[in-house]
Structure 1
């Protein structure tokens, strides 16, 4: 990984990019802290300066919304977010090039080992939870139903046409055409890909033998960069199918996924339920609230293909002004006001009280080092 010598409080000019348009989670453990962060964009003391973040494209709409609300209350503050993808966001954060990051997958052990000493302790918590839709473009088919095994075969290229017996068996009475199936995947390192392949590997392991990865492991099909690229590819191609944050697939068909004995489509409420059933990853730092999502859930009304998108930050910044600005902005993103704004704009589910308490504990640990 390329390192930079920039301080955690400094924003290189090349990285001070403005936000462009391009998903809250809950750990099942309370932190035990009684401290709390500001519940609004402004707590009465205006902050100033510029900070930059980069990462998950799934957070783009939420970050745009948070930026607008926060800067409206703090006119001397500027928050930039570059939606370059989770992998790029983690790299820039670990290199000290950004003050915070966004990632659809939590930091791996080998990445945690690369956190600079100047960062203090790494902060990591779910800020945005959203279903990953299985989006498709198939004229005349409005309510496609799929199970994990059939979906895995589609994405591996083993099912070639839409009237395949495996699809027909799940969609009785639906007139499925003899159109070619074209699976679409991300060609950049992506937390969305890692969450999707985690689901396939957990629920259809006999078919999807590859381990979860942020890099698509199967050859063939079509590829596209970023969430928008995948959506655009599916939109342009009859018979195309792929995976993308549900906030950006409203104009496409969204498959219903078999959970237990029923089928569930993507929704914020259904996604939030599986997060509440998931557990905190053991053996990590006191301000690290990463969770392992329970993919093989069988409860009715739960959608299993979800991502918990994280905020990455540090407990130490080089000067008080930067520390105050980072702390204020992150406090706003997890506040009821900020979470409602993101839910209204992006269709995410507001994080639970337990997740908010955990995030607040981590944010309150931020100081100048």
Structure 2
């Protein structure tokens, strides 16, 4: 297996990565709002806030931090989109004040200590988006795949584009007699966790491995980050990969079978499945770890969806840090910021009962 990624440094190197990440300029202007619910009132917070994590959140975070800095000229927000695994590692070690993660904290992580927290950390959903199966196959502009076929492609059990299992689902398409190049994330990735969780739930007899941040099979090509996957598929021949829909660009996107229909990724489908999903049990009161309903048969829902979290302390050891994190998260989860992310990144805004729970969780940060 080719690996397009150099090894990721952790520990003390995480702080260096944060320092090197770009930050939006603190320009003056009309306050963008820093209060829950889309209030236009600015806050008096100041300081530097460092986040590390989900590359899927990258565009949304760039949008949020630029607006928050405009509203709060004394604040600098840095965000390094180096992957969910790196984000959780940095946050746990104290190298970042918050993490972005496409998978919620593991029980093994919660059983340990968090350097900046007086107690435990919590997961707060801030970004909901479908994961797209992006592909680059000459002459193929419409592709439909059922879950078992997707699992077999990425596991390496199906290796040719004109395989009968693909052909029978794509009548009329001229599928080439070409080797499939499945591209996966080479870094520890919450997107991979969501993708493998989906495959294990919907095609367990094929995809026998449980959900994991690390891609579990030695097949295809590995690429670092969402951008790496997109570049590898764009530059590859007969390639297919998985990535946040907002990053798909001009690449073709496959439909997946849900119930008895083939469904394209959409923000409406992502919102619908998020509303139909349950919280993980046994967590802190305001820990909103959500288990996406992968096995839905409702074709209005898109089960290959990620609910990406901000991981924060419930109570920070330094109350001034807690105040800054709280203010930023109040903006990030506001209607105003969620709509801005929808426009910039194509994400699905928080809504309904989940939005109410998120507001309560953010208000509890101190």
Kindly indicate whether residue 41 of structure 2 is the aligned counterpart of residue 43 of structure 1. Answer: yes
C-alpha separation between the residues in 1 aligned to 2:98 and 2:295?
Answer: 32
Match in the other structure for 1:30: none
| Residues in 2 aligned to 1:95 and 1:149: alpha-carbon distance in whole angstroms | 39
The equivalent of 1:338 in structure 2 is 337
CA distance in 1, matches of 2:298, 2:352: 22
Indicate conservation of the 8 Å contact 2:23/2:76, yes or no: no
Q: Which runs of 4+ in 1 moved over 4 A?
A: 1-4, 11-14
Separation (CA, whole Å) in 2 of partners of 1:293 and 1:57: 20
Contact 1:37 1:363 in 2 (8 A): no
Distance in 1, Cα, partners of 2:11 & 2:229: 30
Whether the 8 Å CA contact 2:43–2:327 is kept in 1: the answer is no
* Cα drift, residue 347 of structure 1: 0.3
Measured after TM superposition, the shift of residue 360 of structure 1 is: 1.7
Change (3 A) 1:94 1:311: same
Aligned partner of 1:282 in structure 2 is 281
The TM-score normalised by the length of structure 1 is 0.89
Aligned to 1:141: 140
User: How far apart are 1:61 and its partner, in Å?
Assistant: 0.3
**TM-score using structure 2 length:** 0.90
Does residue 60 of the first structure (1) align with residue 67 of the second (2)?
no
For structure 1, the residue ranges without an aligned partner over 5 or more in a row are 5-10, 22-35
Instruction: Work out whether 1:16 is the aligned partner of 2:26.
Output: no
Asked if structure 2 preserves the Cα contact closer than 8 Å seen for 1:162 and 1:181, the reply is: yes
**Matched ranges for 1:121-132 at <5 A:** 121-132=120-131
Taking the aligned partners of 1:259 and 1:176, their CA distance within structure 2 comes to 23
- The answer to whether the 8 A contact 1:187-1:215 is kept is yes
Q: Number of residues paired by the alignment? A: 347
RMSD between superposed Cα atoms in Å: 2.1
Deviations 1:242-294 (A, max 9, x none): 11111101211100001111010111111111111110111110110111111
Partner secondary structure for residue 21 of structure 2: coil
| CA distance in structure 1 between the partners assigned to 2:243 and 2:187 by the alignment | 13
Match of 1:236 in 2: 235
Higher relative contact order (CA 8 A, sep 6+): 1
Q: Secondary structure at the match of 2:168?
A: helix
Q: List runs of 5+ in structure 2 lacking aligned partners.
A: 1-8, 25-33
Aligned residue number for residue 350 of structure 1: 349
